[in-house]
């Protein structure tokens, strides 16, 4: 697969999720009367752009790894340093258009608007998929239990219908492996329907080195069962708007919850750090899913959008969550943190982000067999 087949889908994917993220900031800024000088997709030298009637420069830049919205009188969407010097440069009317003069709740909403837009994008995509393509509701039947496997030792049997995994209701055959592998607990609780009776079994899965659908190396949990559809029939159903919206919310929440649990396991030293990836891994995945067609690609856009929105809410300076943390301090103290304190936090945040970038890049290169 040529590099161009990775680059084009990657740029398209990043452009969509970054544009939506930055538009979230832009929307709330416009709503509260903040003057905006730049709306940029990418960093570095401008490739092309245009000015709208309000004087905002909309542009695409050379490095497509993010974006920003810049406000009048501010270095970027969040900076509040040197407030007094900035205010002296503007007359009374123009001061009302500055981000730093807005009430605390408005600044918080402008900052939170980016992650919120990412979640809304994912919900919109999932809703459309469930309405126009459909959602799988095929019951999962155990067709085979391997000898001496964790499943056999736990008491699972052929023809059991799996209806739950670790308190998650199983509504599709596709969810069984997903729930087993997304759980960080050592033991897995399997609820089955056997002769119209609900039974619970606890099993400890084995962890093996495997491949995902794209041939990438992964660590996979298995309990030693082969599952198939009841009556050998797959059940895919197009949903109405309300039901589709409900399941899109459910999917977005599940991805967010699973991501938070995974990060928690990393902090505790229990998570698999090899699964962390950066831009190179995203580029590889976007190129691979693009080969499977539009549906696979747009679904990946939804998952990446959730990840971007969620990561940006972490209380790390330089991220949206870090600035929301500052606003919380401001609310509690009745005043903003001192500039030196903020700069100290920003240095810590920069170090953490640089460390994460280096670590994920190493993982990406390792995944490509370069280490």
pLDDT of residue 275: 60
d(CA 70, CA 85): 18
pLDDT per position as a tens digit, 290-322: 777 888 899 999 999 999 999 899 988 888 998
Residues 11 and 128 in one domain: yes
DSSP 245-286: HHHHHHHHHHHHHHHHHHHHHHHTT-S-GGG---HHHHHHHH
Range of the domain at 182: 136-237
Q: Does the pLDDT of residue 56 top 90, yes or no?
A: yes
Identify the DSSP state of 337: P
pLDDT of residue 113: 96
- 3-state SS assignment for residue 179: helix
Determine phi and psi for 117, rounding to 5 degrees: -65, -35
- DSSP alpha helix (H) spans, the chain: 3-31, 83-88, 92-95, 104-132, 150-154, 175-182, 241-267, 279-290, 294-311, 320-333, 339-367
> Is 152 a known active-site residue?
no
Mean pLDDT of the chain: 84
Residues 16 and 71 in one domain: yes
Residues 20 and 47 in one domain: yes
pLDDT per position as a tens digit, 185-218: 788 999 999 998 999 999 999 888 776 655 666 7
Residues 95 and 17 in one domain: yes
Q: Which of 206, 237, 268 is the last residue of a domain?
A: 237
pLDDT band at 353 (very low <50, low <70, confident <90, very high): confident
DSSP 52-103: -TTS-EEEEEEEEEEEEEEETTSSSSS--TTHHHHHHTS-HHHHTT-GGGS-
pLDDT per position as a tens digit, 114-168: 999 999 999 999 999 999 999 999 999 999 999 999 999 999 999 999 999 988 8
pLDDT band at 79 (very low <50, low <70, confident <90, very high): very low
Residues 158 and 106 in one domain: no
In a domain, 270, yes or no: no
Residues 27 and 126 in one domain: yes
pLDDT per position as a tens digit, 260-283: 887 777 777 666 665 666 666 666
Q: Does the pLDDT of residue 77 top 50, yes or no?
A: no
In a domain, 46, yes or no: yes
Q: Does the pLDDT of residue 75 top 60, yes or no?
A: no
In a domain, 255, yes or no: no
Residues 128 and 145 in one domain: no
Burial tier of 305 (Cβ tally within 10 Å: 0-12, 13-18, 19+): buried
Of the listed 22, 46, 202, 251, which one is catalytic?
22
Q: Which of 197, 217, 237 is the last residue of a domain?
A: 237
pLDDT per position as a tens digit, 10-27: 889 999 999 999 999 999
In a domain, 273, yes or no: no
Q: Which of 215, 237, 259 is the last residue of a domain?
A: 237
Which tokens in the block code for residue 229?
């559809």
Q: Does the pLDDT of residue 76 top 80, yes or no?
A: no
pTM as predicted: 0.86
Which tokens in the block code for residue 203?
């099993």
In a domain, 214, yes or no: yes
pLDDT of residue 342: 78
- Element containing residue 190 per DSSP (H, E): strand 188-194
Residues 118 and 158 in one domain: no
Residues 127 and 13 in one domain: yes
Q: Which residue has the higher pLDDT, 69 or 80?
A: 69
- 42 with 65: CB under 8 angstroms? yes
């Amino acid at each position: 697969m040529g590099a161009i087949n990775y680059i084009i889908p990657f740029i398209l994917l990043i452009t969509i999720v970054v544009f939506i993220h930055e538009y979230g900031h832009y929307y709330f800024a416009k709503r509260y009367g903040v003057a905006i000088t730049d709306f940029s997709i990418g960093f570095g030298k401008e490739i092309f752009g245009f000015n709208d009637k309000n004087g905002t420069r909309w542009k695409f830049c050379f490095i497509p790894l993010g974006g920003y919205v810049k406000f009048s009188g501010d270095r970027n969407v969040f900076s509040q340093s040197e407030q007094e010097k900035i205010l002296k440069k503007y007359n009374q009317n123009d001061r009302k258009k500055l981000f730093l003069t807005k009430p605390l709740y408005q600044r918080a909403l402008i900052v939170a608007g980016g992650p919120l837009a990412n979640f809304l994008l994912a919900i919109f995509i999932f809703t459309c998929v469930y309405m126009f393509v459909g959602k799988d509701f095929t019951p999962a039947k155990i067709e085979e239990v391997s000898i001496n496997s964790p499943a056999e030792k736990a008491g699972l049997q052929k023809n059991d219908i799996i209806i739950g995994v670790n308190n998650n209701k199983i509504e599709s055959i596709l969810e069984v492996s997903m729930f087993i592998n997304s759980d960080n607990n050592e033991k897995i609780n399997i609820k089955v329907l056997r002769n119209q009776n609900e039974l619970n079994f606890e099993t400890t899965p084995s962890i093996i080195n495997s491949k995902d659908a794209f041939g990438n190396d992964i660590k996979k949990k298995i309990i030693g069962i082969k599952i198939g559809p009841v009556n050998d029939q797959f059940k895919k159903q197009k949903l109405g708007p309300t039901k589709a919206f409900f399941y899109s919310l459910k999917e977005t929440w599940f991805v967010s919850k699973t991501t938070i649990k995974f990060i928690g396991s990393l902090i505790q030293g229990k998570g698999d750090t090899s699964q962390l990836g950066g831009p190179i891994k995203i580029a590889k995945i976007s190129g691979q899913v693009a080969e499977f067609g539009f549906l696979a690609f747009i679904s990946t856009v939804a998952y990446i959008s959730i990840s971007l929105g969620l990561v940006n809410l972490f209380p790390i300076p330089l991220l949206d969550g870090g600035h929301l943390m500052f606003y919380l301090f401001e609310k509690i103290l009745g005043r903003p943190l001192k500039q030196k304190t903020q700069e100290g936090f920003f240095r810590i945040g920069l170090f953490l982000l640089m460390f994460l970038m280096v670590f994920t890049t190493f993982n990406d290169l390792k995944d490509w067999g370069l280490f």
